[in-house]
Chains A and B, each alone.
Chain A
């Protein structure tokens, strides 16, 4: 897919509640044509960023553009973006069938066949009131509503945080199937990297409104290495190797480094890192000498 318009583009974006900034001076670009995982600790501003990108909130400072348009600026813009909100709300008093009718009445591009097929596949009773659905079923209903709208971009805010592992797996499977079938950009936020590892091909790590690291998952995994060897000062590494985290015992040093070149020093035992370890390394306090990780960004 070739896309020149970003899925989400934020410039100096900020949102303040009273004296507290939920998101401050956030500048980031999430490319279209990917499944982008938005990761960060609680309070990093993920939900605020998504609320701003879906137009649920208006920014205090800066701008955010979604698929090149102002969020929720009109019916056309609304039609292009699907949104599965945190805790996947549903109208408790309306049945599953009512929800599908709601989607059909309120969306000109509604794909009724897709919606029906998904509900059948999930084994949901159309007459069942949404208030009586399990958390997993409700999440699937919310996803169905968002997918059958046929959006170009699907934004999901911690959709699976409160689900049990099986429902979580089923939800992500459904999401992956949809991405495979529809030409769809996805932005999914989570504080659980393990979940995202299964679906995301692009990653943005947000800490304190700032992008700590971003890039395609494959590229990130290929350029990060876990080095173990005799104790050694991190400053003595070659300039091409950027230390993300380091830990030392009396005789041994363990370093997580980022390097676009292979590490060939025989003193080190080089291991691949998992996405979870990689993200956790960036979530920790920034290492000395790396004031802004963005400068290291080497986008393929």
Chain B
């Protein structure tokens, strides 16, 4: 049975091997350059205030490197989806469409075993492919991610690796995604019994799940850290010369490099959320001032601002933050991978149950 499953999977396996080889060549050609730029940038020896070294490192990178960095996300998002579409959805649906399941199910092999061997072989291939891809990409992008972490997320807009878009494309999580996308494709194919609709449904369902999980599930895999602290005195005041609008910048009570900030709000002592607040990595901005801040552009501006900061201080505003610390990258990676593997196994069970019920004509 393994022979048949392998013989049927061979063309796809060759395609995957070629794709992996192409990625390996690109990684081998550009990776060492990035690694040496990193080691010569001073970042390896830096432990605090590394912004300058990080800037030097990013400046040293070529345009191609940054393009490839963005491309690596596309690759890591697409690979599991493609495996779900082209390996999962047709696995059973194509057999039913062409009637070849009537051949397979009438050899001296039960259909449960037939299905389990197919699921096992192609599923492991999907996990292995995603693993190799992630290994290469994680190694290749390691210096960039580390520099982004050390720079406090202020350089080049590069998010630290715990933030949602990066987390999904690094470490072991892609293995779970690949297993799940594959199992999802197979299950949808078993239920719909037609390849093309199964591919379409698989793509949409997988995309929706990949949006929902980072937003609704991942933040709660581990209880997030919370901090509520008095807002520090305003430290900067800006006035827009054209509109006369004033914004007061507030220093953050919170600086945890590489953390994944889940929520960050400014509240009054009663707990009410203060509206019209923009939170930025460098602090918070109140773009509409409390009424008490009477302010007239012109000569009296400085005095007005001073009054205003007094008013703000009297409001006893608090900043309330919840986040996942940077150190939780690997625990969260393993938990999410486990979650997806369990889901994949559940879908596999659904497939077996469906075939056992013999609904397929």
Q: Which residues of A contact B (CB under 8 A)?
A: 51, 54-58, 72, 74-75, 78-79, 81-83, 85-87, 89-94, 98, 101-103, 105-109, 142, 145-146, 149
Contact = CB atoms under 8 A, between A and B. Distances in A.
A105 B98 contact: no
20 contacts: A55-B358, A57-B358, A58-B358, A72-B106, A72-B111, A72-B358, A75-B110, A78-B106, A78-B110, A89-B102, A90-B103, A91-B98, A91-B103, A93-B8, A94-B7, A94-B8, A101-B7, A102-B3, A107-B108, A149-B107
Contacts of B8: 91, 93-94
B216 to A, nearest CB: 37
Contacts of A79: 108
B360 to A, nearest CB: 7
B4 A93 contact: no
A56 B358 contact: yes
A107 B99 contact: no
Name the prevailing secondary structure of the A interface residues. loop
Contact of B360 (A56, A78, A103, A142): A56
B11 A93 contact: yes
A74 B291 CA distance: 81
A91 B8 CA distance: 9
Contacts of A142: 103
B63 interface: no
B105 interface: yes
B361 interface: yes
Interface of B: 1, 3-4, 7-8, 11, 98-100, 102-103, 105-111, 357-358, 360-361
Contact of A83 (B4, B102, B360): B102
Contacts of A78: 106-110
Nearest to B1: A106
Contact of B106 (A83, A91, A93, A108): A83
Nearest to A91: B100
Contacts of A72: 105-106, 110-111, 358
Given A57-B361, A102-B107, 6 more contacts: A72-B106, A75-B109, A90-B100, A91-B8, A102-B103, A105-B1
A52 to B, nearest CB: 9
A82 B106 contact: yes
B107 A85 contact: no
Contacts of B98: 89, 91-92
Contacts of B4: 102, 105-106
Nearest to A83: B106
Contacts of B111: 72
A93 B9 CA distance: 11
A222 B41 CA distance: 102
Contacts of B99: 85-87, 89
Contacts of B107: 78, 102-103, 106-107, 149
Contacts of A109: 108
Contact of B100 (A51, A89, A106, A146): A89
Contacts of B357: 58
B64 to A, nearest CB: 39
B236 to A, nearest CB: 68
A101 B7 CA distance: 10
A51 B102 CA distance: 10
B6 to A, nearest CB: 10
A92 B11 CA distance: 13
A147 to B, nearest CB: 13
A82 B109 CA distance: 13
Contacts of B7: 94, 98, 101-102
Contacts of B3: 101-102, 105
A30 to B, nearest CB: 18
A79 to B, nearest CB: 4
Given A102-B4, A105-B4, A54 B106 contact: yes
B190 to A, nearest CB: 15
A26 to B, nearest CB: 17
Contacts of A82: 106
Q: Pick the most buried of A79, A85, A108, A142: most chain B CB atoms within 10 A of its CB.
A: A85
A103 B102 CA distance: 13
Contacts of A74: 110
A111 B18 CA distance: 38
Contact of B109 (A83, A89, A106, A146): A106
Given A56-B358, A92-B98, A75 B105 contact: no
A70 to B, nearest CB: 12
A140 to B, nearest CB: 14
Contacts of B105: 55-56, 72
B25 to A, nearest CB: 29
A51 B109 contact: no
Contact of B103 (A81, A105, A145): A145
Contact of A81 (B106, B109, B110, B358): B106
A94 B11 CA distance: 11
A56 B358 CA distance: 6
Contacts of B100: 89-91
Contacts of B102: 56, 83, 85, 89
Contacts of A98: 7
Nearest 8 CB-CB pairings of A with B: A89-B99, A106-B107, A85-B102, A58-B358, A83-B106, A79-B108, A107-B108, A105-B3
Nearest to B102: A85
A89 B103 CA distance: 7
A107 B106 CA distance: 10
A108 B108 CA distance: 7
Contacts of B1: 105-106
